[in-house]
């Protein structure tokens, strides 16, 4: 019988183990203590998973590195460890040389052993965890029973504490994800952000996103966190209704498959295509809302545009909480995707209208056809070379496209005159910046673009028009468009002269630096041209770009 004198040191050891700061440290400490008492060189510890009734290997001792790596996080639902845990009684097995045994984990079959001792830890008669020791030289079952009873409640508390902490961490991560998802309207950036966050929050080995494509309604792999970079993802396709993802898209249901080898729906060609091994899948539909116009104006319908897959839970198994998290993330992302698509459509319509307006002005004179678009292209490249923010680049793009819109108020006999203008005619022509700025000043959303219209003929020394602004009185946007406008005008054919060589035009601009033109803008234009980001009218014609 175990005496009090002998018991006290053991309980003190157990108290030291129970003081561990984390669940992992606690489980490692329990495994080490019981292995020491049984003089066992190796063993594993499984934590009970109430949701599935199975156990997960969370501590390993004395096994080869490759075996330990395979065992950690692996699941088991049968074998002596599971039997001992559910019976509540220690289970001892003697093995003869070469004798096979019903292992809890397949990786343990390859480990030579003479005996196996499985020790369950229960709290309030509920299974908590089980320690499995190999090659025990001693089996103090009475001592083991006392320590198991002492430590089981600590494991249960630590597991619950870690679970609560994980819930709080997931909630914080989800809030952070929502904030980040709302920070961009770029569709691909949003989708990449989404699958990476999903992988982290759900603790999956990989996540992938499929989108339904066109008339075939194939499910096309759009993004994958684990994909081989040499593989074209768009070539990875799952036919309509095929695979687990096909079922999710067609049914609109969430599907959780803990073992794909037991599910006939699993589309194995995907693994073959991207060089991956799928063991478990959690898949949810990606829904978007559509506003129906016309006679049904104002009604909203939903449709499934694709699906998310989380593959291979790294610790434990996918559960209902994982599914809810993935559904929540997919719903939030789908909403933002819809907004991104609406923004993209509206922005595309806006740009098309702006381009059409600019082209209508250019079309009055065959010699200026395409001028506004080229000036816009040049201005954008200058802005990019200056590392301006994306919002500023957008304003530069629109403003430079519209820089000559005021010519709509210039009489045609002056606008399309083939020769040089008289002084009176030039005086009228010089009003087009003011006319353009006045017209668009009525459009509140274009106020940021007005300097491009009003200032593109101003010069740093005050000799420009229409206001004779000097130096810092001219905005950066005005300086950018001024350089781009002169560059295109001089490198394009005109009725009164042929296009000038680029070298001569750049030399002319440099001669006017800090007198007429901003030096940083001229340098940025030169850099963009040397890089090939800018092509003149003649070069575009030779390359078939217009």
pLDDT for the residue 98: 65
Confidence class of residue 523 from pLDDT cuts 50, 70 and 90?
very high
Chain Cα centroid distance, residue 409? 48
| Residue 351, CA atoms < 13 Å, CB-side half-sphere | 12
Instruction: Give the mean pLDDT of 102-116.
Output: 83
Instruction: Give the mean pLDDT of 264-285.
Output: 86
Domains 4-165 and 182-337 share a fold: yes
- pTM for the model: 0.52
CA nearest to 117, candidates 30, 57, 38: 38
With 60 as the cut, is the pLDDT of residue 283 above it?
Answer: yes
CATH C-level class of 182-337: alpha beta
Task: Give the residue, 332 or 208, on which the prediction is more confident.
Answer: 208
pLDDT for the residue 226: 66
Cα–Cα distance measured from residue 290 to residue 277, given in angstroms and rounded to the nearest whole number:
36
pLDDT for the residue 177: 65
Backbone region of residue 298 per phi and psi (left: phi > 0; alpha: psi in -120 to 50; beta: other values): left
Q: Is 127 strand, coil or helix?
A: strand
Cα–Cα distance measured from residue 454 to residue 436, given in angstroms and rounded to the nearest whole number:
7
Instruction: Give the mean pLDDT of 58-68.
Output: 89
CB 402 within 8 A of CB 453: yes
Confidence class of residue 346 from pLDDT cuts 50, 70 and 90?
confident
What are the residue boundaries of the structural domains of the chain, listed by start?
4-165, 182-337, 363-543
pLDDT for the residue 107: 81
CA distances 61 to 40, 41, 104, 138, Å, are 10, 8, 16, 17
Q: Name the CATH superfamily housing domain 4-165.
A: GAF domain (3.30.450.40)
With 70 as the cut, is the pLDDT of residue 281 above it?
Answer: yes
Taking the domain 363-543, which CATH number applies? 1.10.3210.10
Burial tier of 72 (Cβ tally within 10 Å: 0-12, 13-18, 19+): middle
Cα–Cα distance measured from residue 337 to residue 348, given in angstroms and rounded to the nearest whole number:
16
Number of H helices, E strands in the chain: 19, 12
pLDDT for the residue 173: 66
Task: Give the residue, 58 or 198, on which the prediction is more confident.
Answer: 58
pLDDT for the residue 302: 77
pLDDT for the residue 56: 86
Contact residues for 60 (Cβ-Cβ < 8 A; gap 6+): 31, 43, 44, 45, 67, 68, 71, 72
Angle formed at CA 354 by CA 545 and CA 337, multiple of 5 degrees: 90
């Amino acid at each position: 019988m175990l005496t009090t004198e002998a018991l006290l040191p053991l309980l003190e050891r157990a108290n030291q183990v129970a003081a561990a700061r984390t669940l992992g440290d606690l489980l490692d400490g329990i495994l080490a203590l019981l292995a020491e008492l049984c003089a066992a060189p190796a063993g594993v510890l499984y934590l009970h998973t109430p949701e599935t009734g199975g156990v997960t290997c969370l501590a390993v001792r004395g096994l080869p590195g490759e075996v330990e790596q395979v065992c950690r996080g692996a699941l088991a639902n049968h074998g002596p460890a599971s039997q001992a845990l559910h019976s509540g009684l220690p289970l001892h097995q003697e093995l003869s040389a070469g004798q096979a045994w019903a292992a809890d984990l397949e990786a343990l079959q390859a480990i030579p052993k003479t005996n196996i001792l499985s020790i369950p830890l229960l709290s309030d008669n509920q299974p908590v965890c089980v320690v499995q020791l190999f090659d025990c030289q001693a089996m103090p079952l009475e001592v083991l029973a006392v320590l198991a009873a002492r430590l089981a409640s600590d494991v249960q508390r630590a597991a619950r504490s870690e679970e609560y902490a994980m819930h709080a961490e997931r909630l914080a991560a989800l809030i952070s994800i929502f904030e980040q998802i709302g920070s961009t309207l770029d569709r691909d950036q949003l989708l990449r952000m989404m699958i990476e966050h999903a992988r982290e929050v759900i603790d999956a080995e990989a996540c992938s996103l499929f989108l339904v494509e066109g008339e075939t309604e194939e499910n096309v792999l759009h993004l994958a966190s684990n994909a081989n970079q040499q593989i074209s993802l768009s070539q990875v396709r799952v036919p309509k209704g095929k695979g687990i993802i096909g079922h999710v898209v067609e049914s609109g249901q969430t599907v959780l498959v803990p073992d794909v080898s037991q599910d006939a729906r699993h589309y194995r060609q995907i693994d073959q295509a991207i060089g991956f091994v799928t063991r478990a899948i959690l898949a949810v539909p990606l829904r978007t809302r559509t506003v129906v116009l016309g006679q049904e104006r104002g009604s909203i319908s939903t449709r499934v545009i694709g699906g998310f897959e989380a593959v291979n839970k790294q610790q434990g198994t996918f559960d209902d909480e994982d599914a809810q998290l993935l559904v929540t993330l997919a719903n939030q992302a789908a909403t933002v995707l819809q907004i991104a698509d609406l923004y993209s459509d509206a922005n595309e319509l806006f740009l098309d209208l702006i381009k059409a307006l600019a082209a209508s002005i250019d079309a009055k004179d065959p010699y200026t056809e395409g001028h506004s678009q080229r000036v816009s292209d040049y201005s954008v490249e200058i802005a990019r070379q200056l590392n301006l923010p994306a919002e500023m680049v957008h304003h530069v793009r629109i403003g430079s496209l519209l820089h000559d819109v005021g010519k709509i108020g210039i009489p045609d006999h002056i606008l399309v005159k083939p020769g040089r203008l008289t002084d009176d005619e030039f005086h009228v022509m010089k009003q087009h910046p003011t006319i353009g700025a006045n017209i668009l000043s009525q459009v509140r959303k274009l106020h940021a673009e007005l300097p491009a219209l009003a200032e593109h003929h101003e010069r740093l020394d005050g000799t420009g028009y229409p206001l004779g602004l000097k130096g810092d009185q001219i905005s950066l946007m005005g300086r950018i468009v001024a350089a781009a406008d002169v560059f295109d005008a001089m490198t394009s054919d005109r009725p009164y002269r042929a296009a000038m060589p680029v070298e001569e035009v750049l030399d002319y601009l440099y001669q006017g630096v800090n007198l007429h033109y901003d030096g940083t803008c001229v340098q940025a234009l030169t850099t963009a041209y040397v890089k090939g980001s800018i092509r003149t009218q003649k070069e575009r014609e030779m390359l078939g770009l217009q």
